[in-house]
Amino acid sequence: MNIEQNTHTLSVYVSNRPGVLARIAQVFSRRGYNIESLVVSPAKDGDFSRMTIGLSGDPDGLEQIIRQVGKLVDVLSCVDHTDDSAVVRELAMVKVRVDAEHRIGVLQIVEHFACKTVDLTDTSMIIMSTGASEKVDAFIRMIKSFEVVELVRTGKVLMARGDQPT
């Protein structure tokens, strides 16, 4: 059976307590959703945290999952921002093995994508790329023409535009 998969970005505002993440992840896994990215950080008040969850799965069950997550004891709100007007960004760091001969080619890609070189040695570079997911994806595709040693990616973070709450 081929189920159509959709990607969604949720913002979940929770009490900063042990076990909250496990309970939320369990709701998604029981319904066949895969968490593709997860960023958790303290909110402006240290008693609460903001989770930004990128996930994919059957679009028909998403509203029910949002309601179920919203009913969990330590969850204050759960909002799907997929179609909202929001600022969405990711960060990736890529370590590339380079010698003097290939360094200029790597630096041209870094400049084109407005990335930043955060470490440089005789044999490698660590490059930081930030921006929309599509930009980070394009940068990673281009830089893979060189020898990528390591790649670390944060996943999406988002904030609703204007006066709308995240």
Q: 64: Cβ–Cβ under 8 A, 6 or more apart, which residues?
A: 31
Which is more confident, 63 or 131? 131
106-165 residue pLDDT tens: 999 999 999 999 999 999 999 999 999 899 999 999 999 999 999 999 888 888 888 887
pTM: 0.77
Beta-carbon contacts of 162 under 8 Å, excluding residues fewer than 6 positions away, are 85
Residue 100 has pLDDT above 80, yes or no: yes
**Residue 37 pLDDT > 60:** yes
Contact 139, 128 (CB under 8 A): no
* Identical topology for domains 6-84 and 87-159: yes
> How far is residue 82 CA from its own chain's centroid?
13
Q: In what order do the strands lie in the sheet with 34-42?
A: 34-42, 48-57, 6-15, 75-80
pLDDT at position 130 is 96
pLDDT value of position 71: 92
Task: Determine the distance from the C-alpha atom of residue 50 to the mean position of all C-alpha atoms in its chain, rounded to a whole number.
Answer: 13
Pick the more confident residue, 81 or 50.
Answer: 50
Domain at 6-84: CATH architecture: 2-Layer Sandwich (3.30)
- How confident is the model at residue 5, as a pLDDT? 52
Q: Which CATH superfamily is domain 87-159 in?
A: ACT-like. Chain A, domain 2 (3.30.70.1150)
Q: Which residues contact 18 (CB under 8 A, 6 or more apart)?
A: none
Mean predicted lDDT score pLDDT of the chain: 89
Q: Rounded to whole angstroms, what are the CA distances from 14 to 21, 72, 77, 148?
A: 9, 9, 7, 37
Distance CA 159, CA 157 (A): 7
CA-based nearest residue to 166, from 46, 5, 52: 52
Q: Where are the domains of the chain?
A: 6-84, 87-159
Residue range 36-64: mean pLDDT, rounded: 86
Choose the weakest-confidence range: 11-20, 44-53, 79-88, 151-160: 79-88
CA distance 13 to 77: 5
Q: How far apart are CA 86 and CA 101, in angstroms?
A: 42
